[in-house]
Homo-oligomer: A and B are copies of this chain.
Amino acid sequence: MLRRVTTSDVAKHAGVSYTTVSHVINETRFVAEETRQRVLQAIVDLNYTPSQVARSLATQQTYSVGLLISDVGNPFYHRVILGVEDVALAHGYNVFLMNASYDLNRSIKYIRSMAERRVDGILLMSSSMSEELLAETQENQLPTVILDWLECSAPDVGAITFDFEMGIRQAVAHLIELGHRRFAHVSGDLKLFTARIRRDLFLKILAEYGIDPIDVPVIEGNFRIDGGRRAFRELESDPRKPTAVVTVNDMIAIGIILEAQNAGFRIPDQLSVIGVDDISLASELVPSLTTISLHGYEIGAMAMNLLLDLKGKSESVDTTRCHRVVDTTLVIRQSTTRPPD
């Protein structure tokens, strides 16, 4: 492998010291215009590419972060990733991808390698194992931002959570306004904290409209299409005959929609389904589908920004700023949803 061009080569070619080359590149002190041009020309002539590795060693900053995702296949994360990357790129950062694959050992291995790489921070987008992973990032003194888990518990730890109340409230208001009175909820795995939160919020808000939780079927879904199908069949035979169902996952929503269509329902005119997130697939199936959007892109961007902020003010232990809440909002694509007569 041929030797890479270095600062000294450029310096020699331009007839200056390599200090000057460094200053030209980083614009870190005044250099006479004429000298500057000579250096710039030398850089072009030699096709010089500065070494971020050497720079990192000297400055103790790598301008890289680690992004741990439980599953790249989860469509919600696409936006998140994009948001992270855009902000990272804009600030000269690059991101290491770490596919946790829901595997704790793998994740820990990953975090350790990030520590060795001296990344400037870690983004944990994997709520399921956050506790152990956070312990690991703390152990390794890595600034961390956690998605959808707890509030910041320690210095150098940021957190992003969702304001589900907002989206669900809008969804309920929307459905009530359309005339719906009989609701149902298809939840996620109720062993999960987040699933219970959403269910409780939904029931609480319905109660504000005078709807008794006892009249609201709650079905636990399995986050796949067939989970949604099964949920619909349960709802169909439910004596409470809901006309509007609020779900919590795109696959579930798709399953409900497909099974309902099979059963001869017109969606959304005869059954209103509200899914979570901007599930493009479900809305291709039913273009008028209304959803609660989690704003994945904004979340990613916000997380990366928070990480940058944490770094910036790491001396001033500004614990007040480390928790940020993201809106969830109703996306009404076409407001023709009415309860059946």
Contact = CB atoms under 8 A, between A and B. Distances in A.
A338 interface: no
Contacts of A67: 97
Given A113-B94, A225-B284, A140 B314 contact: no
A1 B54 contact: no
Copies of this chain held together in the complex: 2
A95 B67 CA distance: 11
A258 B285 contact: yes
Contact of A95 (B92, B97, B101, B141): B97
A261 B280 CA distance: 21
A171 to B, nearest CB: 25
Interface stretch (A30-38, A75-83, A213-221, A325-333): A75-83
A17 interface: no
A243 to B, nearest CB: 23
B49 A57 contact: no
Nearest to A101: B82
A72 interface: yes
A interface, size bucket: 35 or more
Given A75-B73, A81-B72, A314-B1, A49 B224 contact: no
A231 to B, nearest CB: 14
A266 interface: no
Interface in A126-147: 139-141
13 contacts: A1-B314, A49-B116, A51-B118, A52-B117, A72-B82, A81-B99, A82-B99, A85-B97, A89-B110, A94-B98, A96-B96, A96-B97, A225-B284
